[in-house]
Amino acid sequence: ALEKKVKSKLGEKVGLPCCHEIESSDSLHNYRVYWQKNTMEVVLAYAEGKEISKDKRYMNRTEMDDRNFTLWISPVEILDNGPYQCVVQHLRSSQNPSVVCDETVTLFVTADFSKPNITANVSGNSCESTEMVVRCSSYGGFPKPEITGTLNNESVVWNVSWVSESSLSPYSVTGILHLNVTKDVSFTCSVGSNGFTKSTSLLLSR
């Protein structure tokens, strides 16, 4: 089976699809539905048409479609990142409910980084060249980003450091370049992850 993946941005509403839909002649009362995360936390559970449990982290943020069991989460938090499992049982007889589907869908949460800020400071000067330290920084995004850049359209490698309170917290990132500048240079610094990229350019005149 193909792994199902859903992407969402921080703060948005997202629907995680389940693997079963109730026929119009059937009723939610004949089902048990469990949505769980990391196979341990029960996000929410329904039995015989009623909600029987909900994790307190998801209070007031989740609801379930009572025909196709889609789990709606709003607003999405970074901590919601990860695999969710939808398990549906049909209560043909209460002694032995049959599992009609059990499927995992993985939620990838992203948060946009701020537009990169580029600063350049002179660290030394001679007749031929100017020594400069160029910094590119951005904050507030998720997951862990990459910094790429160009110097006069040639790619450069930044000395990068990241700061995050935990692996599921927004990141701040800073890249540093040490340069000997002999002529006017133009820089571009791009910060991004999962295909979402923000860029800033700077022209340094010598």
Same domain, 96 and 132: no
Same domain, 168 and 183: yes
Amino acid making up residue 141: G
Domain boundary among 110, 134, 157: 110
Domain boundary among 76, 110, 144: 110
| Residues in contact with 86: Cβ distance below 8 Å, sequence separation at least 6, in sequence order | 16, 18, 19, 20, 33, 34, 35, 69, 71, 101, 102, 103, 104, 105
Structural domain that includes position 176: 114-204
Same domain, 124 and 26: no
The string of pLDDT tens digits covering residues 31-74 is 999 999 987 889 999 998 898 988 889 989 999 998 999 999 99
Domain boundary among 110, 136, 158: 110
Is the pLDDT assigned to residue 2 strictly greater than 70? no
Is the pLDDT assigned to residue 140 strictly greater than 60? yes
DSSP per residue, 7-76: EEETTS-EEE--S----TTS-GGGEEEEEEETTTEEEEEEETTEEEEE-GGGTTTEEE-TTT-PEEESS-
Q: Which helix (H) or strand (E) element contains residue 152?
A: none
The predicted structure's pLDDT at residue 25: 87
pLDDT grade for 136, boundaries at 50, 70 and 90:
very high
Same domain, 25 and 102: yes
Same domain, 11 and 101: yes
- Cβ pair 59, 51 in contact under 8 A: no
The string of pLDDT tens digits covering residues 145-188 is 999 999 999 999 999 999 999 888 999 999 999 988 888 889 89
The predicted structure's pLDDT at residue 1: 54
| Residues in contact with 173: Cβ distance below 8 Å, sequence separation at least 6, in sequence order | 113, 137, 138, 139, 141, 145, 147, 160, 161, 162, 163, 191
Helix, strand or coil, per DSSP, at residue 93:
coil
The predicted structure's pLDDT at residue 93: 63
**How distant is the alpha carbon of residue 46 from its chain centre?**
28
What's the mean pLDDT in 182-205? 89
Same domain, 126 and 67: no
The string of pLDDT tens digits covering residues 9-38 is 999 999 999 999 998 888 889 999 999 998
Q: How many domains does the chain have?
A: 2
The predicted structure's pLDDT at residue 139: 95
